[in-house]
Amino acid sequence: MDARTQDYRRLRRAVTECVNAHDLLGVLDDAPPDEYDPEIEDFTRLIAKGQPMTPEVVAGVCHKWFGDSKKPTPRITALANDLRRVQLEWNG
């Protein structure tokens, strides 16, 4: 999906809200508003391509950007569940 389309921007806003609500690093109070932009872009592209948002997929993206463990944690699993809801609404 082209990142310039209105649909893509709408999906990205929904992913942004979801990721920021979870604030996995606990930094948003003191960080710039675009702190999670690389992760958000990865999640948005994966959802747009139809990649299921499993805890393992979310952990992989987090590992790529944060260097965290590749194993899903409870917080990553919670984020994956919410991203899956975004994906279901998007595909719905």
Average pLDDT over residues 3-24: 91
* pLDDT (average), residues 24-37: 83
Tokens of 36: 């999670």
Q: What is the pLDDT of residues 44-70, one digit of tens each?
A: 999 999 999 999 999 999 999 888 777
Q: What is the mean pLDDT of the chain?
A: 90
Residues of the chain with pLDDT > 70, as a percent, come to 95
What band does 3 get if pLDDT is binned at 50, 70 and 90?
Answer: low
Per-domain residue ranges of the chain:
6-91
